[in-house]
Structure formats: structure tokens, C-alpha cells
């Protein structure tokens, strides 16, 4: 933990003070056991900002099957537009998670697959997906219970 973060924690623990977030460094990275980089960026936040959206998760899950052409992938992901799939694939390709291959046919065939880095991310996403399947009904019940109390 940096000395600046330690000072902020000591200051905050001595007496409660209002903090608008402008003067206190983020402590999530160190308190959760993850070290921030030289810019103070939390690795979890950085990765989730890149792949934590619905479409990226669904693309990664579907590409685990192997190489898939663009239109086949679009059919597998209900509700995604052609433009959104294009943007999502480009972003995942830029981050080294997806490989785009153009076959020299007429018209050209474009295929997508996960890179080794993408495959390494697929397992935690699978775990999250299974957790969602196992717990979504409980979450819905809890949400309804909470809303009924409001």
C-alpha cells in the first residue's frame, strides 16, 4: 500500500470526515489484494472496462466453440446488431483476445477465434455464467423482497 494511501486511511480512521472522493486516492486495488499499477489503475477495473459488457462476454463464450464466421456468430448472439458485433470484435481483437482471419475467397470469408489470451479469459467467464445460472432466481427473489419493503 502506498504511503499516500496509508495516510488517507489513518486520516479517515481517526475521525469520520466527509470525502467527496477528490482528495482520497482509490484504495480498492490494495485492499482487495490487487496492486495498482504506476498510474494507480486497478487491474480488475481496467479489464472489466474492456470486457465486462454483455456483448464482449457473449462473444467470448460463443467463440470457445472454435472458429466462427461473422454471420454465424451474429446468429448465435440474440439481439446483437451487425454494427455492435463489429465494434465488439474489433475491441476484443485490439486487446489480443480475438483473432480475425480473412480467407482469400470471393467474397472474402472472415472468421474469428479466441487467442490463447482469450481462451484464458473464457474459463473465468464460464464460472461467472454458471454462477449466474445457479443464482439468478435467488437474486430476483431478493430484489422483489427489497422492492416490496420500499
Computed on alpha carbons and rounded to an integer, the radius of gyration of the chain in Å comes to 21
Q: Tell me which of 103 and 11 has the higher pLDDT.
A: 103
DSSP label of 96 = T
Class of domain 53-150: mainly alpha
Task: Identify any residues that bridge with 114 across adjacent strands, giving them in sequence order.
Answer: 98
Q: DSSP 3-state assignment of 7?
A: helix
Q: Model confidence over 113-122: pLDDT tens digits?
A: 999 999 999 9
Would you kindly state where each structural domain of the chain is located, as residue ranges? 1-51, 53-150
Judging by beta carbons within 10 Å of its beta carbon (0-12, 13-18, 19+), is residue 119 exposed, middle or buried? middle
Q: Model confidence over 83-100: pLDDT tens digits?
A: 999 999 999 999 999 999
Amino acid at each position: 500500500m502506498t504511503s499516500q494511501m496509508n495516510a488517507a486511511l489513518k486520516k479517515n480512521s481517526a475521525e469520520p470526515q466527509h470525502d467527496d472522493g477528490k482528495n482520497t486516492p482509490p484504495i480498492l486495488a490494495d485492499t482487495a489484494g490487487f496492486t495498482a499499477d504506476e498510474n494507480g489503475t486497478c487491474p480488475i477495473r481496467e479489464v472489466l472496462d474492456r470486457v465486462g459488457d454483455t456483448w464482449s462476454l457473449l462473444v467470448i463464450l460463443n467463440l470457445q466453440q472454435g472458429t466462427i464466421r461473422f454471420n454465424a456468430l451474429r446468429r448465435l448472439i440474440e439481439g446483437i446488431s451487425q454494427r455492435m458485433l463489429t465494434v465488439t470484435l474489433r475491441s476484443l481483437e485490439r486487446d489480443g483476445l480475438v483473432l480475425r482471419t480473412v480467407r482469400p475467397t470471393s467474397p472474402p470469408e472472415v472468421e474469428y477465434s479466441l487467442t490463447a489470451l482469450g481462451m484464458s479469459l473464457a474459463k473465468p467467464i464460464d464460472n461467472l455464467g454458471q454462477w449466474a445460472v445457479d443464482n439468478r432466481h435467488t437474486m430476483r427473489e431478493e430484489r422483489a423482497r427489497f422492492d416490496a419493503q420500499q
